[in-house]
């Protein structure tokens, strides 16, 4: 892969060790001749990722989710370094980043593109989500009544605590906690999972990539909220549907050459059955 000569760092300074790690990695990049810029995750200026070869995010998955939309729109690959807990997206540990960073800069990496959702709740540019779009009551976890269309075809109406529209990448997040399926990140689909549905036969539905979903609020007395990747909470006009499609931009994640999605899943979800477990 091409060497990385212009590198933007986004650092979650609230994570233990993140600032010191950023200094170490930035020094490694500078010593290799790369142009480096560093900013806190809480104050990313507009255009910060413009003309960069990659963005190195140091923190946790939440930190990376905050960068995903501008990175995808700018076409800038993201290196995720985990200083948090679980880390499905930030797959480099601090030790791995220190050991492998010079190699990454030289081009020893692979890019794994991840699909995103485009969510429209009114006029203006769609909001991009790497993990999921959550539709729920505006202020609490009260019951909501939602009607879902796939194109012009009615899917069903739900009485539930909320509805999760998930990418394959986000299938390991809120979708999984709500009983939804695990989906390989290379699949071109949208998963829809109701939260605590009042009809027990309501289960997750998987839609193809070319579908346009519309979610209508069926209760005039209820105001809805849309949460984008758990980062941005947006009020919904009661008369307007929430529309979700697969977005045009995709996020490119930088991974080591021997990256294995299922190795990450086994480790993070503490599955057994790896080669080391076989006698």
Angle at 104 between CA 103 and CA 110, to 5 degrees: 120
| Under 8 Å between Cβ of 126 and 268 | no
Any residues with CB less than 8 A from the CB of 166 and at least 6 apart, and which?
A: 131, 132, 133, 173, 174, 175, 180, 183, 190, 191, 192, 193
Active site residue 50: no
Question: For residues 170 and 187, is the Cβ–Cβ distance under 8 A?
Answer: no
Distance, in Å, from the CA atom of 141 to the CA atom of 126, rounded to the nearest integer, reads 25
For β-strands 162-166 and 153-160, DSSP reports them as unpaired
Residues 6+ apart with CB under 8 A from 206: 181, 183, 189, 190, 191, 192
DSSP string, 230-273: TTEEEE--TTS-EEEEE-S--EEEEE-TT--HHHHHHHHTT---
Taking the alpha carbons of 260, 263, 267, 269 in that order, is the dihedral positive or negative?
Answer: positive
Q: Is the dihedral of CA 75, 79, 85, 87 positive or negative?
A: positive
Nearest to 262 by CA among 278, 274, 279: 274
Query: d(Cα 36, Cα 16) in Å, to the nearest integer?
Result: 22
Tokens of 7: 């590198």
Contacting residues for 203 by C-beta, under 8 A, at least 6 apart: 179
Marked catalytic residue, from 61, 132, 161, 229: 61
Q: Which residues are catalytic?
A: 61
């Amino acid at each position: 892969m091409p060497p990385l000569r212009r590198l933007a760092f986004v650092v979650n300074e609230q994570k233990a060790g993140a600032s010191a790690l950023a200094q170490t990695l930035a020094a490694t990049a500078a010593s290799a001749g790369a142009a480096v810029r560093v900013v806190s995750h809480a104050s990313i200026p507009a255009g910060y990722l413009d003309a960069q070869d990659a963005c190195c995010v140091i923190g946790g998955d939440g930190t990376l989710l905050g960068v995903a939309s501008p990175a995808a729109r700018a076409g800038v690959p993201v290196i995720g370094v985990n200083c948090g807990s679980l880390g499905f997206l930030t797959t480099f540990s601090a030790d791995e980043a220190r050991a492998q960073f010079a190699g990454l800069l030289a081009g020893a990496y692979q890019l794994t593109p991840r699909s995103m959702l485009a969510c429209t709740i009114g006029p203006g540019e769609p909001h991009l989500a790497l993990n999921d779009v959550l539709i729920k009551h505006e202020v609490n976890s009260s019951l909501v009544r939602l009607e879902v269309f796939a194109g012009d075809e009615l899917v069903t109406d739900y009485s539930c605590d909320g509805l999760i529209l998930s990418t394959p990448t986000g299938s390991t997040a809120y979708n999984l906690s709500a009983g939804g399926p695990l989906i390989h990140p290379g699949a071109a689909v949208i998963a829809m999972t109701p939260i605590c549905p009042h009809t027990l036969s309501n289960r997750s539905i998987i839609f193809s990539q070319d579908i346009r979903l519309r979610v209508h609020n069926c209760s005039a007395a209820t105001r809805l909220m849309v949460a984008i990747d758990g980062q941005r909470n947006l009020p919904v006009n009661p008369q307007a549907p929430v529309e979700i499609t697969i977005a045009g931009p995709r996020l490119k994640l930088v991974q080591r050459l021997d990256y294995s999605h299922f190795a990450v899943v086994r480790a993070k979800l503490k599955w057994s059955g790896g080669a080391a477990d076989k006698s």
